[in-house]
Amino acid sequence: MDKLRAFLSGREGNNDNRNILQVANEASTLGWGTRVKGFVICMAIGLGCSVLGVCLLFIPKIGVILFIVFYTFGNICSLFSTMFLMGPVKQIKKMCDKTRAFATVVMITCLVLTLCAVFWWKIFALTLLFVILQVLAFAWYGLSYIPFARDAVLKFFSMMCSMCMK
């Protein structure tokens, strides 16, 4: 906290060769216990919003909109929860790694397009398509953190397709 205060007040002038990411990372370091608590709280909020969204789905007229908003907000909270464990800079670097950069772009694009489709374009079919793509993108992104999981899923679906073709 002292480093953050010194940086914001302009007293920290002896390390001019550090970039903004290094300064932000140093200013935001948390203890392991605080990181775990932040992860659990943020993940619980994310899961709670997703479940609440499913429950609100059955309200006439506005249920679908509430579902989409709460489900998308729940996914965003769940994504941010992992930043508590690794730290924001390391998480963003991992998200931009060559093995998961495409999955990250698709996932974030689906989140944004879902909200655009429900609020600005107001096209229900498109919104539903983006929610489905959001689920698939989050699953694909999550599998990127498990070694060989995406390869196993691809092999499983190729095996299922070859069985259906026979």
pLDDT digits (tens, 9 = 90+) for 73-99: 999 999 888 888 888 888 889 889 888
pTM of the complete model: 0.70
Helix then strand then coil, in percent of the chain rounded to 5, is: 80, 0, 20
Residue 13 has pLDDT above 70, yes or no: no
Distance CA 132, CA 140 (A): 12
Q: Which two tokens stand for residue 22?
A: 């290094």
Distance CA 125, CA 127 (A): 5
**119-140: pLDDT as tens digits:** 898 888 898 899 999 999 989 8
Q: What angle do CA 21, 134, 137 make, to 5 degrees?
A: 70
Q: How many residues does the chain have?
A: 166
Asked if 46 contacts 76 with a C-beta cutoff of 8 angstroms, the reply is yes
**Per-residue model confidence (pLDDT) at position 70:** 93
Residue 6 has pLDDT above 70, yes or no: no
Q: How much is the mean pLDDT over the chain?
A: 84
Residue 111 has pLDDT above 60, yes or no: yes
Compute and round to an integer the Cα radius of gyration of the chain.
20
**Per-residue model confidence (pLDDT) at position 51:** 93
**31-74: pLDDT as tens digits:** 888 888 999 999 999 999 999 998 998 888 888 889 989 999 99
Residue 15 has pLDDT above 60, yes or no: no
